[in-house]
Structure 1
Amino acid sequence: MTDVQTAASRTVNTVLGPVAADDLGVVSVHEALLFVVPGAEHAYDITIDRAEIFEILARKLTEFRDHGGKTIVDSTGMFHGRDVKLYEALSRSTGVHIVASTGMGPEEMLGGYFLTPQTNPPTPWPAEKFADLFTKEVTEGMVVPRVERRGAAGLVTTTATRDGMTPTDESLFRGAARTALATGVPVSIRFGADALHDLDVVLDEGLSADRVVVGDLDRKDAVAAGAPLEVARRGAFVALDHVGLDDDDAHLTDRERAALVVELVNAGHGNRILISSNAIGVAKGQPAYDLPYSYASRAFVPLAKSLGLSDEDARHILVDNPRDLLTLR
């Protein structure tokens, strides 16, 4: 196979079908389009007006596109408002590629169906059941309750309990890794108490580190433990994914994030850095987080450049690294 043929065969799953990996452009890798806290749709004081939601998200995605953005990754997983039909319409309307995700977690956000299967005594779902669930969302299409499947998930996302990984969390992580091995999509993890421990769980399944992105690595506890540098050394992607959150005691400031980006680049890990904002386009059941999807590229990257980041390294972070992560393998 020639290099041209190899490049032409590299694709990424989007809600409108596979697209050439080289067509992704500037990518924001950890964002939320519609985020609905499970059960909030039934609350008396919350309305779900899909036409209104479409208009809000279309406006925000257009702003992202107008500032050079081309691909948004919705990393919320299965049960936090994911609306595949809505995302298809948004992508067609705005021209922005949308990569949707399968997966779930942490344990406290799972419904009882996944926590108390009919065993005696009740035990967590085994990893292979989660793997089967997630794999079907890649190979057969994402579930649209209750009657159909549409599109193919472009990544598996899961989160560990903040105080430390539980047995159910471990099943989720191992199931996510097995899905990645079976389908070629990457895994996005948000760690609980120990980033390196949680990364090791998915690597223990035989998954290559370069198929994993570890999120939340701009938390102060992660930085104090040296986790961003060590995650990069192990070959996984480092997501500094709260860009724009500048007044939170648990996270770095943007200037500190930018300094960390430059530090990682200088250590030889410029090909392992990803940035995004964890912005929420429309939130139901929790406070809004109304940060533009373009913030990382139009505001944070210039800040990092003022601290020494080169144009070439900025392109790696915004274009090349997320493309390499999301490409099916």
Structure 2
Amino acid sequence: MLVPDKPTFINTVLGPLTVEELGPTAVHESLLSVYPGAQYAPEISLDRSEIFHILQKQLTDFYDVGGRTIVDASGMFHGRDLPLLENLAKSTKVNIIASTGLGPEEMLGGYFLTPQTDPPTPWPAKKFEDLFSKEITEGMVVPRVERRAPAGLIATLSTRSGMTATDESLLRGAARAAVSTGVALSHTFGDDVLQEIDIILNEGLSPDRLVIRGGERHGAPIIEAAHRGVFIGLEGDCHEALSLLIDADLHSRIILSAGATGVAKGHAPTSAYFSDFMKLCEGLDDALRTHITIENPRTLLAVR
């Protein structure tokens, strides 16, 4: 069992850390993001040395502006490279937490559907639960080679236009894996955040083990969602949503990220940088900044 028993620990790619060692933490970033299948395209280069040095510089910049921990929320098949993340963590002062997880359906591929039926039926939630749980309890898979460090987060996404049957099965399995392993769930909602929160919580997950990403979207019912006890993930151009939650005295429900992609292959990168994370807190007093960037991530990410 790789996951520590004590709730004061967080899983990183180099092993467990105490919550006191996290410091300011960006909970939803992507260091290397590879669109599934892009690694096989002849015109796309995956020069590991070049990628390493680009990311090393970006992580150093992140540290220099006060960041201390980054959660790579790429999940299982979007470029997660554990040896790369381990070497980056060793060569910089930044703690790196990697994630398991999948979604949405359009990004899964036929392996996660049952092709003998028409239309194909989704994997049952139990299979997704087992897949994610093993990445936490036995270590994350380096394809066809070995398992390494345990995942520190489960990251899922629903189809933006509306949750599909496969999305729901995956989401239920992820929630069950979060319950059984004590690792938190980070979910990017589709078109009905409150319905998706209900699905997750009905699987028995405590609200403070869930962060809903996409809270910066215009019109998202983030106040109602926050009152259910879940964390609201904000990134990018999120100052309006950030102010809304703070004014409603819901700062204890906020999780911030820059929403940056360090290196993108097969798709366009975001315009954000990891170092933008600390800029989101400009204008906040020290106590509020500490609560949002340090205390909230500690509560979310502690294995319990």
Task: Give the TM-score range, shorter chain.
Answer: over 0.9
- Is residue 243 of structure 2 the alignment partner of residue 262 of structure 1? yes
Aligned counterparts of 1:44 and 1:260: Cα–Cα separation in 2: 42
Deviation at 1:29, TM superposition (A): 0.7
Match of residue 188 from structure 1: 186
- The residue type equivalent to 1:30 in the other structure is H
Alignment equivalent of 1:102, drawn from 77, 86, 100: 100
- Is residue 301 of structure 2 the alignment partner of residue 326 of structure 1? yes
Aligned counterparts of 2:193 and 2:7: Cα–Cα separation in 1: 33
Match of residue 288 from structure 1: 269
What SS class does the counterpart of residue 150 from structure 2 fall into? coil
Match of residue 40 from structure 2: 42
What SS class does the counterpart of residue 286 from structure 1 fall into? coil
Asked if 1 retains the 8 angstrom alpha-carbon contact of 2:215 and 2:241, the reply is no
Task: Map Cα deviations across residues 34-65 of structure 1 (whole Å, 9 max, x no partner).
Answer: 00000101112101001110000001001101
- Is residue 238 of structure 2 the alignment partner of residue 233 of structure 1? no
| RMSD value, Cα | 1.4
What SS class does the counterpart of residue 68 from structure 2 fall into? strand
Higher relative contact order (CA 8 A, sep 6+): 2
Match of residue 287 from structure 2: 312
Deviation at 1:260, TM superposition (A): 2.9
Aligned counterparts of 2:7 and 2:242: Cα–Cα separation in 1: 31
Match of residue 280 from structure 2: 300
What SS class does the counterpart of residue 159 from structure 2 fall into? coil
- The residue type equivalent to 1:197 in the other structure is Q
Aligned counterparts of 1:322 and 1:291: Cα–Cα separation in 2: 20
Aligned counterparts of 2:118 and 2:88: Cα–Cα separation in 1: 46
Match of residue 13 from structure 2: 15
Q: TM-score, normalised by structure 1?
A: 0.88
Match of residue 93 from structure 1: 91
Aligned counterparts of 2:176 and 2:39: Cα–Cα separation in 1: 32
Aligned counterparts of 2:165 and 2:290: Cα–Cα separation in 1: 39
- The residue type equivalent to 1:115 in the other structure is L
Match of residue 52 from structure 1: 50
- The residue type equivalent to 1:266 in the other structure is D
Give the paired residue count: 299
Match of residue 5 from structure 1: none
- The residue type equivalent to 1:236 in the other structure is V
Deviation at 1:9, TM superposition (A): 5.6
Task: Map Cα deviations across residues 105-151 of structure 1 (whole Å, 9 max, x no partner).
Answer: 00000010102255687421000000000000000000001120000
- The residue type equivalent to 1:312 in the other structure is A
- The residue type equivalent to 1:293 in the other structure is F
Aligned counterparts of 1:185 and 1:118: Cα–Cα separation in 2: 34
Aligned counterparts of 1:169 and 1:320: Cα–Cα separation in 2: 31
What SS class does the counterpart of residue 259 from structure 2 fall into? coil
For structure 1, the residue ranges without an aligned partner over 5 or more in a row are 1-7, 244-253
Match of residue 4 from structure 1: none
Asked if 1 retains the 8 angstrom alpha-carbon contact of 2:8 and 2:18, the reply is yes
Match of residue 260 from structure 2: 279
- The residue type equivalent to 1:237 in the other structure is F
Q: Write the mapping of 1:116-131 to structure 2, written as runs, cut at 5 A.
A: 116=114, 122-131=120-129
Aligned counterparts of 2:82 and 2:96: Cα–Cα separation in 1: 10
For structure 2, the residue ranges without an aligned partner over 5 or more in a row are 1-5
- Give me the identity figure in percent: 55
